[in-house]
């Protein structure tokens, strides 16, 4: 992988929102706040034009739970610099996001390791 050979300042950057965001979290207020702060950081990165690719992994969930306004995510995508690509993942993308998306893909499970008892793995599943 070429990214491994790049100097640290040129490597892709990942920012994690927290230990995992769930609608029934024991500390819902903290989860909502983490989602919001993470979204605001991602929105700023999208608008900055510093990256060619910004991945909003599993963002549809906090959007659907009302933690992040769907229109804000759609607006950031709609007004992004022309060279910036945004990938938003997760199920049941809100209509606001679907309208501005260049590509929409629906996936379905054929087989999943979890069904055979394989637990989630750090670096692969989370």
Query: Which domains does the chain show, CATH number per domain?
Result: 2-116 (3.40.50.300)
pLDDT of residue 120: 83
What is the arithmetic mean of pLDDT over 62-68? 95
Which residue would you say has higher pLDDT here, 6 or 90?
Answer: 90
Residue 93 in contact with residue 62, Cβ under 8 Å? Answer: no
Q: Could you tell me the pLDDT band of residue 12, with boundaries at 50, 70 and 90?
A: low
Alpha-carbon gap, residue 112 to 44, rounded angstroms? 35
Q: Which helix (H) or strand (E) holds 87?
A: strand 85-88
Q: Is the predicted pLDDT of residue 14 greater than 90, yes or no? A: no
pLDDT of residue 121: 81
């Amino acid at each position: 992988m070429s990214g491994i050979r790049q100097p640290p300042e040129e490597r892709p950057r990942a920012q994690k929102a927290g230990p995992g965001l769930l609608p029934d979290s024991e500390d819902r207020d903290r989860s909502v706040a983490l989602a919001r702060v993470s979204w605001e950081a991602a929105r700023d990165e999208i608008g900055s034009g510093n990256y060619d690719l910004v991945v909003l992994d599993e963002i549809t969930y906090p959007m659907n739970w009302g933690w992040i306004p769907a229109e804000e995510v759609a607006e950031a995508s709609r007004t992004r610099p022309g060279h910036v690509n945004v990938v938003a993942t997760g199920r049941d993308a809100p209509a606001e996001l679907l309208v501005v998306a260049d590509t929409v893909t629906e996936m379905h499970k054929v087989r999943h390791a979890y069904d055979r008892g394989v637990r989630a793995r750090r670096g692969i599943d989370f």
